Structure 1
């Protein structure tokens, strides 16, 4: 998995494309992820209808991604069953 700032990406597009052959390339803008560059093969694997969740989650480099989903808040509401 590779990270580029927007500026680095603009100056090293060919390197980013080569790196994308081995896994996703993350481009950051002001320190926050803004784009992901994938090889076409990886893109096809992710978007194909026959891919399993296990295959999607086993993509190289995904274990290194920081992922903090927002906590959901479930509010109970009365239900009218009449």
Structure 2
């Protein structure tokens, strides 16, 4: 995995090259010499965020069979709103 660093100006002028470089690793985009943004492939982004899998997919990966969940009952008494 290679890391590429380019300036904002280079990114604006050569966006397609930056996108190609993002397939090999993150592309750091600098603004006035300081890192400001990172360009990632969608696959790398999904790995970082855990997105792309539904709750059902994650639960299906769990081992150990069935399990029971009990939620406690809350004893909350609501008062009618006083609109006068």
Determine the C-alpha separation between the residues in 2 that align with 1:8 and 1:31.
12
Matched residue, 1:42: 44
Give unmatched runs, 5+ long, in structure 1: 50-82
Q: CA deviation at 1:27?
A: 0.2
**TM-score of the superposed pair, with normalisation by structure 2:** 0.57
Give unmatched runs, 5+ long, in structure 2: 52-84
Give the count of matched residue pairs: 49
Q: CA deviation at 1:7?
A: 0.3
Determine the C-alpha separation between the residues in 2 that align with 1:3 and 1:9.
10
**TM-score of the superposed pair, with normalisation by structure 1:** 0.58
Q: What is the Cα-based RMSD across aligned positions, in Å?
A: 1.0
- 4+ residue runs over 2 A deviation: none
Which structure has more relative contact order (CA 8 Å, sep 6+)? It is 1
Find the structure with the greater CA-based Rg: 2
